[in-house]
Amino acid sequence: MNDVCIVENLSFSYSPSKRIIDRLSFKISNGEIVGILGKNGSGKTTLINLMTGFLKNYSGSITIKGKDIEDYSLKERARVVSYIQQSRLSIPDYYSVEDFVLEGRRPFRKFGFYTEKDYELLEKVLEQCSLGSYKTQHINEISGGELQRCVFAKALMKQCDLFIFDEPTSAMDIKYQKEFFELLSIAKQELNAAIVLSIHDINLSIKYCDRLIVLNSGKILYDGKSKFVTKEILSAAFDTLVSEECTAPLHFYY
Ligand SMILES: Nc1ncnc2c1ncn2[C@@H]1O[C@H](COP(=O)(O)OP(=O)(O)OP(=O)(O)O)[C@@H](O)[C@H]1O
């Protein structure tokens, strides 16, 4: 397995009085889905914003595909990391589904033009994400779950092997959550991608992530296979008693 992302001794504060990320070290490899779990305010979004290069003034290092994140230009970084933010999207009204998804190739355009290969890839990705029949539909005429699929399809258009998502499933109902993780397995299998996502739902994270990094006050409380995380660790992370069902095999829930 290759290490796509290496985080070493990473610390970060918004203000001098409080360390939000506290000396974290871990590696993310190709072909694994890694869930970042922790209670509100534990530092998940901050960590993701550091890993995607949106926050500066940290100590330690973040290496993406063998290169320090500081040494990437914005465009280069956009080519190697597919990132989906927590905030709401602003999409021009006139976009169709295919316009929106095609935008995923924007960092690769030459002289402002998409290539024939980009259009071939668009067809393939729309099919993979079950969006073929929607492609000419207006982006603001589709449901929230369908839009989420479009967002994922756009990320997939980069064909890169590092995907980073900030709470991608928070607004989805159970059906779309399931579908989302099925889509993730396309990236994992086809691109041997490393996928990092912050997540609140303990059950989902244990079921679908290969590995969990559990944060508590910016420190790593657990980093290991999701199936081995214990209710004691989760109870400590969430400051509340986490019941047995959360760590039991979950196939009967889904
Ligand atoms: N821009 C900011 N300026 C100052 N403090 C911030 C800022 N963003 C976040 N924080 C603080 O940093 C801490 C970690 O926040 P962060 O958003 O990373 O946590 P989180 O685990 O993603 O939380 P949630 O689950 O609620 O999304 C919190 O105490 C938060 O108040």
Domain 3-89+159-238 fold is: Rossmann fold (3.40.50)
The ipTM of this complex is 0.97
The per-residue pLDDT for 1 is 65
Model confidence, pTM: 0.89
The per-residue pLDDT for 252 is 35
Interval between CA 8 and ligand 1 midpoint (Å): 21
From the list 153, 151, 112, the residue with the least C-alpha distance to 130 is 153
pLDDT along the chain (254 residues), means of 10: 92 94 97 95 95 94 96 91 73 85 91 93 93 89 83 91 87 80 88 93 91 96 95 88 57 35
Instruction: For ligand 1, say whether the CB of 73 is within 6 Å of any of its atoms.
Output: no
Q: Whose CA is nearest to atom 7 of ligand 1?
A: 14
Q: Which one-letter DSSP state was computed for residue 89?
A: P
The per-residue pLDDT for 142 is 86
Q: Whose CA is nearest to atom 28 of ligand 1?
A: 41
The per-residue pLDDT for 254 is 33
Domain boundaries, the chain: 3-89+159-238
Interval between CA 86 and ligand 1 midpoint (Å): 12
Show the tokens assigned to 148. 């989420």
Looking at residue 167, its amino acid is E
